[in-house]
Amino acid sequence: MRRRDALVIGGAVAIALAIPPLLRRRNGDFQFSDLPGLPGFRRLERGSLSAAPDVFAGLQTPREAAANDRLPNNLCAAVFPDPPAVGAVPVAVFSDYYCPYCAVLDRRLALLRDTGAPIDLTFHELPLLGDRSRWAARVALAATRQTDHTAIHLDMMQRVLRPGPAGVKAVAGRHGLDAAQLMNDAEGDEILAQMEDGLALGRALGMPGTPALMIGRTLVIGALPEPDLERIIALESEASVVACF
């Protein structure tokens, strides 16, 4: 295992274990703050979070700098690339395939949607937990060239991606994809740039870890318990349409 991966994974585990039980309890009052760079939007930090200490803080790679430069002026349009269905609250989900809280939250959101909750889901790849996370995100993004991203994302979130070609073939087999094309696309520069663009968006929005959600005009950092999640959806459902649409 590479030293950077070991540091990242070790830090993520340490942070997860260190979360006091008290922080996991439901608190009925939300404390919002303004979200810099997005007038009319707000931020809520609440719930369990998988994050890793950035041992390379302050160092920006050329790819990261290029991705930062590609960010649109309208970050809202990057978060919600498509308008939601009529009457639905747009919900953008930022996840890492090796974040245990993400797997739970993504499944919960999909179930809420499938049982009639007024939400329209968009999933973003935010691989913050090392090289394995980044490769899984690239496979998911590459698969989107052949099939629906949401279906791939939800499937991969509930499974561990095996390393190397075996993992790619397994994903391709489950979804009827061309495995050779999937591997070629995942290893290509275009998919790498797409993944870097997602990380740049997360940085611009100040996401220190995953999961993170943009529910209407509310950025939520951390995995909310279901009652709080439903409350935020209800509050946003009563608000006016998000400004970027």
Q: What pLDDT, on a 0 to 100 scale, did the predictor assign at position 201? A: 96
Q: How confident is the prediction for the chain on average, in pLDDT?
A: 85
Mean pLDDT of 209-233: 92
58-64 LR contacts (CB < 8 Å, sep 24+): 63/192, 63/193, 63/196, 64/196, 64/199, 64/200
- Of the chain, the percentage scoring pLDDT greater than 90 comes to 63
* Domain assignment present for 184: yes
Q: What pLDDT, on a 0 to 100 scale, did the predictor assign at position 148? A: 94
* Domain assignment present for 244: no
* Domain assignment present for 171: yes
The model carries a pTM of 0.82
CATH code of residue 119: 3.40.30.10
* Domain assignment present for 24: yes
Q: Considering its fold, how many domains does the chain have in total?
A: 1
Q: What pLDDT, on a 0 to 100 scale, did the predictor assign at position 13? A: 41
Instruction: Reply yes or no on whether the pLDDT at 80 is more than 50.
Output: yes
Domain of residue 87: give its range.
3-238
* Domain assignment present for 245: no
Write out the DSSP string of 184-199: HHHTSHHHHHHHHHHH
Q: What pLDDT, on a 0 to 100 scale, did the predictor assign at position 4? A: 46
Mean pLDDT of 4-22: 41
* Domain assignment present for 215: yes
Q: Which residue is listed with tokens 């609440």?
A: 46
Q: How far apart are CA 211 and CA 196, in angstroms?
A: 17
Q: How far apart are CA 2 and CA 128, in angstroms?
A: 15
Give per-residue pLDDT as tens, 200-220: 999 999 999 999 999 999 999
Instruction: Reply yes or no on whether the pLDDT at 27 is more than 50.
Output: no
Q: What pLDDT, on a 0 to 100 scale, did the predictor assign at position 8? A: 42
* Domain assignment present for 214: yes
Instruction: Reply yes or no on whether the pLDDT at 44 is more than 80.
Output: yes
Q: What pLDDT, on a 0 to 100 scale, did the predictor assign at position 38? A: 86
* Domain assignment present for 243: no
Instruction: Reply yes or no on whether the pLDDT at 11 is more than 80.
Output: no
- Of the chain, the percentage scoring pLDDT greater than 70 comes to 82
pLDDT band at 55 (very low <50, low <70, confident <90, very high): very low
